[in-house]
Chains A and B, each alone.
Chain A
């Protein structure tokens, strides 16, 4: 009979810990019950509770039983799927005694259960695929020793730089000689704006997706790299506006402002236009995102606090939806052309404007349209391994196109048209997934990219983001980021030191600069970025080699 309280007993739906993706290993013998772990667990996956043990002893020469009960206070993992352990390991981080640690459970059945309420599992992070990506399988196999001038990364001066913006072919350049000197006649035709940048940029992550100290830390790091180190790294704002203080500062030139389907913050940006002392580095028009192709975004009302509301130009506590598509988009020709026109016009045609799309089989169609548009400054393609603050797991895991072949086919299309040096391609999505930032970037550059954009990597490297491809943490969408990276809760984001983030950004980019030299120098390239230098690349899979048009080496 059912108990009178109406509680339904349903033991069959009690999950065992074996179904969970991470199992907490807690050591009774080490724990001093200080409660730090339970205090910090972002999802309350662990809690203090009571354990009873009963021991029957018989110590005499004849049976003389004595039962001893002992009740202890323990730390226990809960078996509620809504409070599953994400494996973030904040408990391990704060434990003074190394008494607690989550352990990945490869037999978990998480996705079988994570659909309560009839909604699919949503999360942050990127594709949960820990296998070696194509980018990490690419090797640099054309080494100059005696066949080309052997360069030394440590000894030779390098300029690892790329160009963002449409580059006119030499025959179109209005060159003329004035007083015996070759100059460009800038008044005769439209000369598209071009920026010289470091080929690795920080991709679009919005204020809102990121916490204030995270976004500011990245921004400061970028400014530092430019101002102090002379490394022209740029960063994209993401769709969430830009703080007016930054818009009006001289540092605006290091930032690419993104416009996406929600147009958030753009009225505030327009209001700031007359006060700008510098042009932004570029404008990125977001049409798609590698992590969730064809899907939009939603910043939930509880995250829309004062700061977000002000910067995005919206009231507080409302849901902010970025639809999957721009509402005024009717065709490639019409939509892209008019967006590029509008955005170019906003900044007096002095700023490169380029669209960003998610990796797709149809990328070449977009590219060919852009190739014919004299105002299109570049094309950014975000592959399937790109990250996001929030998306359905199914979009992240199963949708999208790998970046390598997508970028390659686009580049080869440009080569066919003889325009490979005119329209830069920016590749993104999964760069540095296994930590090989420079190698992945170099591989993409040699497949044809003029630059690459990183997101997840910099969160991991600069702010110690716990997320990985074993679905560790990935709480970005919940606002409970234990590192304070993707939350608007001051109690959490005040854990993050923006000065330290900036410092790490500087270290990351300086190291990447060194590593890019270490890769390019032995291949004999130092002054020009080896864009499309695919004869330097090999892969250990013949089919991949054929698809990418590179060498097969084994």
Chain B
């Protein structure tokens, strides 16, 4: 293309003419006679430059020459880029030929080199036919795209590299008679190469070192020994019949061209003499296995053969040597759910010193068993209406989970509902004799429990009435007397042997001790504590003050200024009663932050009680009616009550029962240092009435096992954490109190409410409800379905399901 335009342009012609003038005479370089031209590369001993020689070659063709005879002198690129437009150009070259002979040779050009050529013959050949009657050196046929190369000798290094096949044309062919050098056919992308292997210079390897690296297309036919090729790029194959026919057909003109027809027979003797190298197709390469052998085969055939069956660790592993998925079932789960029904205590029962299971009462009500629900409480306390319903601060309600959503369950009201119930049935008599000293809440509680279990109980009470401080000291306005009386009469139904008006002395204790298997001391604390300071003799104790009122001796406090030392709950009762009996003002003082709380505090404050702290009393002057404090201040005080607690009277105790700082020492089962003697309630330390009831029940439980000679493993339940209860299920409550409404409000903490939520949420259908013959039920897990996701535990309204490590 370029040759054509160069010649056509006028300026180019003038350049050529000026060039011709310089090299004089031009006939010395080129002689054109008709269709032939002789072109010399050396004139008068001077070498013609490659550029000038090229111009004359192009000029000759332009002038009509079709047979060129070139005597070269090392010029570059001879014979290429000639485009005779359909005609044939024959070029014969002899003499030292430079590099890239016939480069970019066009179709129609035929080049015959009568001797060996330098590097890169036929470079980017575009159709020329080049015959070399000698050797081609390095890089022959590099990037050839069309045409034919016939070589009479051998090839140098990197021959046939980057050859291509343009589908518009026939593929390029290259024929080597002897052998080729190293790196043959690198990156060959198309075309056919034939290496005949006749009389090779390297007798052991006719294709040189590492042929075909990066070869992606084309075919190489060769005859003779080779030493390897790029196995990842090409495959070594036998010739097909088509190959053989092609080779035989094309062998003849080749041998004729290089004047070696005498070898025709030898070269076409048998297709078995020949092999071919063919590039793998991209599909074949992709389909090829990347690994020479799989690692599993390597393990089986090599690794385990050398290190032993199962690998290097097998001898220490106790499990199967198989793989596990991320999601597992059965024994392979990391965690598993457990239906831990009633494993934990609900906060209400846990907080209650008597552990009254209010959640069970709610459950029974939900099942329509209201009476059973109400009766249940009597198994825990003889005084539910009195204590739960009236005077208890209801620790159960304070801790109620429901209170975190709206309001706690009205457990106090449930207690009140038990007022009219008859005493429960006793168990059959056991014949065991137990003494209880003290008829207060603690003594009544333990006597009640022991009697229910069928034991014979003797109860000794110094006063003429049962009830202890409930009877004696709790203001009637907080506890209507008829409620207490009603519950005491129910208590009496149980048949406890009452010994009222019986003060227990040392001698009496000894007698009781000898006459009973177990003695329970429940005498409470009935000796007021007093701080001695000037004028303290003129001060009344809270104990006496309250007891007098309840026994009918009413004080006259009209218009008086009352001061109560000690702002505990008893102090608050005193304040309230002082107002009830006419006090003009009541001030409660304390040396520290008042301990009072709940109903006592509220009632007293509502009546006008002033609470002042800290105040350390120095003296009381009855004449001045003034209470003086250590900080120098004073307070008007017509009437002073000291309410700093009571202590027990322990003068009757034998030596074997240990007491510390005035209180009887007990272990966790309320047992004293004498294993036969138990102590409960205030005699072991001041507490709430509910504590006294609780002590009584728990001590009775222990005593029951003790006298029955049965081993006891008390179940100590932990409280369920609030987070485990899903309050989200419940709407904020509106409406009045009814037992049924309360029962539905109860969140049934730690106790299954049989709602089937777990069954519904389990995606895997692993949870089902199983009903037993006795009417009880449980939820069970099919461990072959369960994946241990924890949905049941996460969404259980009651916190019953819990996830544990699956070990």
A pairs with B: yes
Residues of A near any B CB (own CB < 8 A): 1, 3-5, 7, 32-40, 47-52, 69, 71, 73, 90, 93-94, 154-155, 157, 207, 212, 215-216, 219-221, 223-224, 227-229, 243, 245-246, 249-251, 306-307, 310-311, 490-492, 494-500, 502-503, 506-507
Q: Is B595 an interface residue (CB 8 A)?
A: no
A71 & B311 in contact (Cβ 8 Å cutoff): no
B351 & A306 in contact (Cβ 8 Å cutoff): no
| Given contact pairs A216-B312, A243-B313, A73 touches B791 in the complex (Cβ within 8 A) | yes
A251 partner, pick from B187, B307, B787, beta carbons under 8 A: B307
B794 partner, pick from A38, A495, A502, beta carbons under 8 A: A38
- Residues of B378-396 at the interface with A, using a CB-CB cut-off of 8 Å, are 395
Distance to closest chain B CB from A505 (angstroms)? 9
Q: Is B398 an interface residue (CB 8 A)?
A: yes
A155 & B186 in contact (Cβ 8 Å cutoff): yes
A5 & B291 in contact (Cβ 8 Å cutoff): no
Q: Is B281 an interface residue (CB 8 A)?
A: no
CA distance A506 to B291 in the complex (A): 9
| Given contact pairs A33-B761, A246-B307, A311 touches B399 in the complex (Cβ within 8 A) | no
Distance to closest chain A CB from B181 (angstroms)? 15
Interface window among B25-33, B296-304, B363-371, B526-534: B296-304
A224: chain B residues within 8 A (beta carbon): 295, 298
A36 & B306 in contact (Cβ 8 Å cutoff): no
Q: Is B774 an interface residue (CB 8 A)?
A: no
CA distance A7 to B319 in the complex (A): 44
Q: Is B322 an interface residue (CB 8 A)?
A: yes
A497 & B323 in contact (Cβ 8 Å cutoff): yes
CA distance A157 to B399 in the complex (A): 81
| Given contact pairs A228-B298, A506-B291, A245 touches B315 in the complex (Cβ within 8 A) | yes
A155 & B214 in contact (Cβ 8 Å cutoff): yes
B668: chain A residues within 8 A (beta carbon): none
Distance to closest chain A CB from B475 (angstroms)? 23
Q: Is B347 an interface residue (CB 8 A)?
A: yes
B296 & A499 in contact (Cβ 8 Å cutoff): yes
A34: chain B residues within 8 A (beta carbon): 763-764, 789
- Which of B187, B291, B398, B794 has most chain A Cβ within 10 Å? B794
A3: chain B residues within 8 A (beta carbon): 398-399
CA distance A49 to B761 in the complex (A): 11
B306 & A7 in contact (Cβ 8 Å cutoff): no
A249: chain B residues within 8 A (beta carbon): 306-307
B298 & A251 in contact (Cβ 8 Å cutoff): no
A36 & B327 in contact (Cβ 8 Å cutoff): yes
A307 & B316 in contact (Cβ 8 Å cutoff): yes
A5 & B399 in contact (Cβ 8 Å cutoff): yes
- Which of A4, A69, A219 has most chain B Cβ within 10 Å? A4
CA distance A245 to B327 in the complex (A): 33
A47 partner, pick from B325, B328, B332, B794, beta carbons under 8 A: B794
A499 & B299 in contact (Cβ 8 Å cutoff): yes
B332: chain A residues within 8 A (beta carbon): 491
| Given contact pairs A307-B317, A499-B299, A38 touches B326 in the complex (Cβ within 8 A) | no
**Which partner residue on chain A sits nearest B302 by CB separation?**
A227
- The 3 A-B pairs with the shortest beta carbon distances in the complex, nearest first, are A35-B789, A48-B794, A307-B316
Q: Is B770 an interface residue (CB 8 A)?
A: no
Distance to closest chain B CB from A4 (angstroms)? 4
A-B contact pairs, 12 of them (CB 8 A): A33-B791, A38-B791, A38-B794, A48-B761, A49-B795, A51-B728, A73-B794, A207-B313, A228-B293, A243-B316, A246-B307, A506-B295
- Which of A33, A37, A494 has most chain B Cβ within 10 Å? A494
B631: chain A residues within 8 A (beta carbon): none
- Which of B312, B313, B332 has most chain A Cβ within 10 Å? B312
A246: chain B residues within 8 A (beta carbon): 307, 312
- Which of A49, A51, A94, A215 has most chain B Cβ within 10 Å? A49
B334 & A39 in contact (Cβ 8 Å cutoff): yes
B311 & A154 in contact (Cβ 8 Å cutoff): no
Q: Is B308 an interface residue (CB 8 A)?
A: yes
| Given contact pairs A50-B726, A491-B328, A498 touches B790 in the complex (Cβ within 8 A) | no
CA distance A544 to B187 in the complex (A): 42
- Residues of B189-230 at the interface with A, using a CB-CB cut-off of 8 Å, are 210, 213-214
A215: chain B residues within 8 A (beta carbon): 313
A502 partner, pick from B298, B312, B787, beta carbons under 8 A: B298
| Given contact pairs A40-B327, A155-B213, A50 touches B791 in the complex (Cβ within 8 A) | no
CA distance A317 to B313 in the complex (A): 19
B729 partner, pick from A38, A50, A223, A502, beta carbons under 8 A: A50
B324: chain A residues within 8 A (beta carbon): 491, 494-495
**Which partner residue on chain A sits nearest B719 by CB separation?**
A5
- Residues of B151-188 at the interface with A, using a CB-CB cut-off of 8 Å, are 183, 186-187
B319 & A494 in contact (Cβ 8 Å cutoff): yes
| Given contact pairs A35-B787, A224-B298, A306 touches B795 in the complex (Cβ within 8 A) | no
A245 & B308 in contact (Cβ 8 Å cutoff): yes
| Given contact pairs A38-B794, A311-B316, A494-B323, A221 touches B295 in the complex (Cβ within 8 A) | yes
CA distance A23 to B88 in the complex (A): 80
CA distance A147 to B792 in the complex (A): 73
CA distance A33 to B327 in the complex (A): 14
- Residues of B23-60 at the interface with A, using a CB-CB cut-off of 8 Å, are none
A154 partner, pick from B214, B347, B764, beta carbons under 8 A: B214
A71 & B728 in contact (Cβ 8 Å cutoff): yes
Distance to closest chain B CB from A510 (angstroms)? 9
| Given contact pairs A48-B789, A497-B323, A4 touches B395 in the complex (Cβ within 8 A) | yes
Distance to closest chain B CB from A211 (angstroms)? 10
Q: Is B292 an interface residue (CB 8 A)?
A: yes
A7 & B722 in contact (Cβ 8 Å cutoff): yes
A39 & B728 in contact (Cβ 8 Å cutoff): no
CA distance A224 to B186 in the complex (A): 30
A49: chain B residues within 8 A (beta carbon): 726, 794-795
Distance to closest chain B CB from A210 (angstroms)? 11
**Which partner residue on chain A sits nearest B722 by CB separation?**
A7
A492: chain B residues within 8 A (beta carbon): 334
CA distance A5 to B397 in the complex (A): 11
Distance to closest chain B CB from A433 (angstroms)? 27
B350 & A5 in contact (Cβ 8 Å cutoff): yes
A243: chain B residues within 8 A (beta carbon): 307, 312-313, 316
A40: chain B residues within 8 A (beta carbon): 326-327
A495 & B326 in contact (Cβ 8 Å cutoff): yes
A506: chain B residues within 8 A (beta carbon): 291, 295
CA distance A246 to B597 in the complex (A): 74
B728: chain A residues within 8 A (beta carbon): 50-52, 71
Distance to closest chain B CB from A302 (angstroms)? 12
CA distance A7 to B401 in the complex (A): 12
Q: Is B731 an interface residue (CB 8 A)?
A: yes
B313 & A39 in contact (Cβ 8 Å cutoff): no
A228: chain B residues within 8 A (beta carbon): 292-293, 298
**Which partner residue on chain B sits nearest A154 by CB separation?**
B214
- Which of A51, A219, A220, A250 has most chain B Cβ within 10 Å? A220
A497: chain B residues within 8 A (beta carbon): 323
A494 & B313 in contact (Cβ 8 Å cutoff): no
CA distance A251 to B305 in the complex (A): 11
| Given contact pairs A35-B787, A38-B791, A306 touches B318 in the complex (Cβ within 8 A) | yes
Distance to closest chain B CB from A285 (angstroms)? 23
A155: chain B residues within 8 A (beta carbon): 183, 186-187, 213-214
CA distance A500 to B294 in the complex (A): 10
CA distance A34 to B764 in the complex (A): 7
| Given contact pairs A32-B763, A90-B326, A307 touches B794 in the complex (Cβ within 8 A) | no
| Given contact pairs A38-B790, A50-B729, A490 touches B319 in the complex (Cβ within 8 A) | yes
B395: chain A residues within 8 A (beta carbon): 4
Distance to closest chain B CB from A26 (angstroms)? 13
Distance to closest chain B CB from A83 (angstroms)? 13
CA distance A52 to B326 in the complex (A): 31
| Given contact pairs A35-B791, A155-B186, A220 touches B298 in the complex (Cβ within 8 A) | yes
A494: chain B residues within 8 A (beta carbon): 319, 322-324
B731: chain A residues within 8 A (beta carbon): 69
